[in-house]
Structure 1
Amino acid sequence: MGLQRRLWLCFLGVSFLPVIYIIYLNLEITWRMDILNLTQFPGIWYTQEPNRLHDPEEPLVVNTLSDNSSIAPPTPLSLKVKSTSPARVRPSTEPGARTTKGSDLKGALLKSAKPTEPPFIGDSYYSEDAPPQTDCPDSIRSRVSQTDFGVRYLGRIPVLQWAKHATPEQYQRLRLYPGTHGWANLDFNTLVSTLSVLNTSANWHMFDDWDRRSNGSRCVRCAVVGNGGILNESKKGHEIDQHDYVFRTNGAVIKGFEQDVGSRTSFYTFSTNTLRNSMRSYAGAGYRGPPLSEETRYVFLPDHDRDYLLMKAGATHTPVERGPERSKTPPTYFGGNVTVEKLKMYHPDFIRYIRNRFFRAHAMQTKYKDIYRPSTGAVMLLAAIHTCDQVSAYGFMTPDYVKYSDHYFDHQYHPVGFFINHDMRMEMTLWQQLHRAGLITLYMRQ
């Protein structure tokens, strides 16, 4: 009887071995999948908290990486990659137009059936033979090839878009990219009706009045002014105003802060969204809208059809046709007498180019890739680097940013916020690199 019981127990034990093995395999597969999910976003955690303060660009997701994190800001990559998706699109056959591409990556990529880059990258751009507006012997263009930035810098990429670019060929190419990086959020009729208005030389020359104001100078000197708290009590206003041109962006409050930030505005960079949000968020600090002066030009950063609609309405002094800014009367943001020559718009190829080659951030590997872009201030500063001969940057984030409030016009201290739609630490790292390379002069207190 005892022998039978032992034999029966052995039989049951052997019978349960396959069941135990199957359970083990399931647990192992689940564990491995969890590991894969966690490693998709190494070192970074995101939470969907609403934006309660900071930039008026309406970031949707807060980057909760602490200021004391041991993870260093990602260094911008020197990209030489070819996007397989845009390469299928025939480039424009207009005279003088070419497509600029990166070179192929080899090695491990040859073993993969996947494309070398996701389709949304599109490291392929319109190229123009546009001569520089000056012959400055010490321009950024002449010096950049001697620095590490020479392999990234494209001197022939159009910074501004205008009537010439509104062709069916270019629309088919750029409709692949959403937001600021292309025309995916824009129908062709709206594109043509807006860009056809931008048909003067002033719309594609950044410095359309340089011939009249150069005073014999061979070099264009630009001050690019951000809104960072480092400018508070800086006493840099007079120095800023001594430049040939002064760039500003978003909630640029001037009245009462002239001693620190200057009083002139030559170029005001904004999107319709950031403009409206600045007027709402910074009204208490005295911001009422874009600076209004004879000197001021208004440079749209287009990320939606709203920007094209407002641009057309402003240029033609007609009501905004549709959308959140729809109106019964012409918009007054730019003054009642604004002319089309004072309106400009960044080219989506330029925005995508600086994202791809200067701001390749972790967010581009996540589901938030479509809302990620360089900050408006970063676009403004890179545009100056591609058009001015000499650039001085003020009010941009520096490594000691925790000492200063978010904005120079804050009534009380507000810490700088970090959000998934921009990578401010990467931008800060780039400003330091450009300063060390001698391509810009960055204002720092330390």
Structure 2
Amino acid sequence: MKCACTAQHAVIMPSSAASVNNFGEVKAKSSSKSTGSLESSDKKEDVYQTILARKKPNSDSPNTQRVLASTSSAEGNHFKATVTLVTARMTSSRRALSSLGASNYSLATTHKAKLSTLSPYLGDMYAKDDVHCSSTIRQKFSKSIFRDTYLEMVPVLQGWKHFSRAEYQRLRQYNGAHGWNVVPYNILNETLALLNSSATWNMFHEHNGENCKPVRCAVVGNGGILKDSKKGSEIDQHDYVFRTNGAVIKGFEEDVGNRTSFYCFSTNTMRNSMMSYYHLGFSGPPRSGETKYIFLPDHDRDYILLHAAVKNIPITRGREASNQPPRYFGKNVTVEKFKMFHPDFIRYIRNRFLQSKILKSRHKDLYRPSTGAVMLLAAVHTCDEVSAYGYMTPDFEKYSDHYYDKRKTKVNFYINHDFKMEMNLWQLLHKEGIIKLYMRQGERLSGGAGTTNHTLS
């Protein structure tokens, strides 16, 4: 139950700076044998090496430190930073602290979760939102196989309170959606300055304070398993409904529902969806009084579009230059309509839940969790109860790629996502009772540890 939530921001600094390439937008398809997907012969322990094979940190070791630092931004904002550094190189840690103005530190750990030593490229260090809320799902995580993976205080959404010059220096070393490597400082500054209230950096700000009740969320993917499912009414009965990308609703309400509380997208995926599914009536994101828009920012164009939409002005630069935001979101939208995922959250779920083999391949700079995966894991980290519909299941070959396909189409696999790893993760989360996954085969299994006999391969 979410009750009396208050948030304080802290900055967790990286162990070292890494030079990485810019994120590339990929459309090239790969076969199931490519590095973009996992073979069925892979073992669960191999797939989930980052979940099941983490070493417990030694709190007495000099390699595990708690750092209390004060950093000051150009705007005069001061943050107390609680920093967990897990690194074998003390000199690198001290250089990082010195560069950000840290003056003292002591040996300790900041979280019960086991923290791994990952390469600087991956960056397993994150900002921290100190949100004091109880949560049913947090309790479930603590009793699950994910107890050493889950970090409850990583910020899901970003806003003005998360921005400073120190944070810019920290996050500009990470590429694409995982950091600010491709986003100029001035664009971040002018865009995040608009996201300056709890309505923009809290997922359910209306549930803060005295309004305490469990938050029930339906997260709706676009998978063909939803065709003829008759799940529409069930979906709409949740407190909030999440949708993404080509969320074609008209004509499919009986199967997928009608409501959209949150539409999750990147500028690229939204525009691609508008082009690909225009013939099905998808001319842009859903619009309703309750609908809010959550950007997944994998390029500066996302920040540019959000800024133009809030200011209600034409886009003046980038690929969408001269486009009018009302084309996407309607007229006279206010800033409260918009949110944006924090790059630390996207990097966190990549590192701890979806650390694909692609990251060890020559395509590592292209990889990120799919938009649907980010959406579902964001719900897992903010809702009390999560039901997932339209997500890939082990019998995915029985169904078309999308529920709105006019004829059966095979699921496409892409080199920048790992759909099979995501599928296995959904099965584990369902088995542990953290989500309720809609599955036609074995749907009667409601989840909970020990209630299923899934073999994940």
SS in 1 for 2:403: coil
**Residue 209 of structure 1, aligned match among 203, 206, 210:** 206
RMSD (CA atoms): 2.7
In the alignment, what sits opposite 2:47?
75
In the alignment, what sits opposite 2:196?
199
Are 1:257 and 2:252 an aligned pair? yes
Deviation at 1:286, TM superposition (A): 1.7
Contact preservation (8 Å) 1:180, 1:304: yes
In the alignment, what sits opposite 1:65?
33
Deviation at 1:142, TM superposition (A): 1.8
Separation in structure 2 between the aligned mates of residue 242 and residue 281 of structure 1, nearest angstrom: 30
In the alignment, what sits opposite 1:112?
none
Separation in structure 1 between the aligned mates of residue 380 and residue 71 of structure 2, nearest angstrom: 26
**Structure 2 length-normalised TM:** 0.76
**Residue 441 of structure 1, aligned match among 425, 433, 436:** 436
Contact preservation (8 Å) 2:221, 2:391: yes
Render the CA deviation track for 1:65-119: whole Å, top value 9, x for unaligned: 299955337522225699x9xx99x8856445433455769xxxxxxxxx96432
Deviation at 1:131, TM superposition (A): 2.5
**Residue 388 of structure 1, aligned match among 380, 383, 389:** 383
- The correspondence of residues 61-140 of structure 1 with structure 2, limited to 5 A, is 61-65=29-33, 70-72=40-42, 75-76=47-48, 77-78=50-51, 79=54, 92=71, 94-101=78-85, 117-132=118-133, 135=134, 139-140=136-137
Contact preservation (8 Å) 2:266, 2:295: yes
**Structure 1 length-normalised TM:** 0.78
- The correspondence of residues 11-22 of structure 1 with structure 2, limited to 5 A, is none
Are 1:185 and 2:182 an aligned pair? yes
**Residue 373 of structure 2, aligned match among 369, 375, 378:** 378
Contact preservation (8 Å) 1:81, 1:123: no
Separation in structure 1 between the aligned mates of residue 121 and residue 38 of structure 2, nearest angstrom: 33
- The correspondence of residues 36-435 of structure 1 with structure 2, limited to 5 A, is 58-65=26-33, 70-72=40-42, 75-76=47-48, 77-78=50-51, 79=54, 92=71, 94-101=78-85, 117-132=118-133, 135=134, 139-210=136-207, 218-327=213-322, 329-435=324-430
Separation in structure 1 between the aligned mates of residue 412 and residue 436 of structure 2, nearest angstrom: 25
Render the CA deviation track for 1:156-196: whole Å, top value 9, x for unaligned: 01000001112000000000001000000011111101100
Deviation at 1:394, TM superposition (A): 0.3
Q: Which is worse superposed, 245-254 or 199-208? A: 199-208
Alignment length (residue pairs): 371
Q: Which amino acid aligns with 1:62?
A: S
Which has the greater radius of gyration?
A: 1
Structure with the higher fraction of residues in helix conformation: 1
Q: Which is worse superposed, 165-174 or 90-99? A: 90-99
- Distance change (3 Å), C-alpha of 1:234 and 1:329: closer
In the alignment, what sits opposite 1:50?
none
- Distance change (3 Å), C-alpha of 1:70 and 1:378: closer
Separation in structure 2 between the aligned mates of residue 397 and residue 102 of structure 1, nearest angstrom: 35
SS in 2 for 1:429: helix
Q: Which is worse superposed, 156-165 or 70-79? A: 70-79
Contact preservation (8 Å) 1:230, 1:401: yes
- Distance change (3 Å), C-alpha of 1:194 and 1:271: same
Render the CA deviation track for 1:226-284: whole Å, top value 9, x for unaligned: 00000000000000000000000000000000000000000000000000000001112
Q: Which is worse superposed, 141-150 or 66-75? A: 66-75
Render the CA deviation track for 1:116-146: whole Å, top value 9, x for unaligned: 64321000111121223xx55xx10122111
SS in 2 for 1:277: helix
Q: Which amino acid aligns with 2:348?
A: Y
- Distance change (3 Å), C-alpha of 1:70 and 1:339: closer
Separation in structure 1 between the aligned mates of residue 125 and residue 399 of structure 2, nearest angstrom: 39
| Residue identity (%) | 55
Deviation at 1:208, TM superposition (A): 2.5
Separation in structure 2 between the aligned mates of residue 217 and residue 257 of structure 1, nearest angstrom: 33
- Name stretches of at least 5 consecutive residues in structure 2 with no aligned partner: 1-24, 58-62, 73-77, 90-115, 442-457
- Distance change (3 Å), C-alpha of 1:218 and 1:337: same
